[in-house]
Amino acid sequence: MFALPLADDAQLRPLEPWNAEEFLAHIDRARPDVDPWIPWASQSTDLASATAVLQRYADRQAQDSGRIYGIWLDGTLVGGVMFTSFDAATGVCEIGCWLEAAGTGRGLVNRACRALIDWAFTRRGMSRVEWWVSPGNARSIAAARRLGMTRDGVLRGRYPYRGVRHDSEVWSILADEWPAP
């Protein structure tokens, strides 16, 4: 187990199935802010479903195809970052993030994402890190910009959510553009 300091009072740590109870409590607090943007948030409604989300990521980590980490502030889980996909063969991965209101305005997501991006490029030799976001998610778009990412385009009608098809913007940063300012 490791803990990466993000600030004096904040840490980045792996989120694992045994964290499901804490994860569920956090998602319940975060739901108003993250449910429209993160599909598994609406699927984590009880201990079994929260455990299943974390188990899927544990399985992805074992297959080297994804990972999930939590952000703890003063010992309380307030958000996280993840490799939603990780393809070492092609050198392309996608990162994402979420945060409940108690963790906002501290730069925690930025520092956590920078740690993931840096690891992907410097330790794993990835060529491209992507960030997929709904065009209506202004906070996530601002985070992509702060990370130095470039908007590549829009995938129209890419996914269904609550009976409506939604677009996805794709942002990215390439290895030779990192570290971003």
- Classify domain 4-177 at the CATH topology level: Aminopeptidase (3.40.630)
**Predicted TM-score (pTM) of this structure:** 0.92
Q: Which residues pair with 16 in a beta bridge?
A: none
If phi over 0 gives left and psi between -120 and 50 gives alpha, with beta otherwise, what is residue 64?
A: left
A 10 A CB-CB count for 64 gives: 13
Provide DSSP, 112-133. HHHHHHHHHHHTT--SEEEEEE
pLDDT at 132 over 80: yes
Residue type, 54: L
Which residues face 171 on adjacent strands? Answer: 131, 151
End-to-end CA distance of the chain: 30
User: What is the Cα gyration radius of the chain?
Assistant: 15
Task: Map out the domains of the chain as residue ranges.
Answer: 4-177
CB 105 within 8 A of CB 139: no
Q: What pLDDT sits at residue 181?
A: 56
pLDDT of residue 180: 60
- What is the per-residue pLDDT across 67-119, written as a single tens digit (0 to 9) for each? 999 999 999 999 999 999 999 999 999 999 999 999 999 999 999 999 999 99
> What's residue 164's pLDDT?
87
Containing 75, the helix (H) or strand (E) segment is none
In the chain, the amino acid numbered 100 is E
Question: Cα 11 to chain center, whole Å?
Answer: 15
Write down the residue that tokens 């030779």 correspond to. Answer: 176
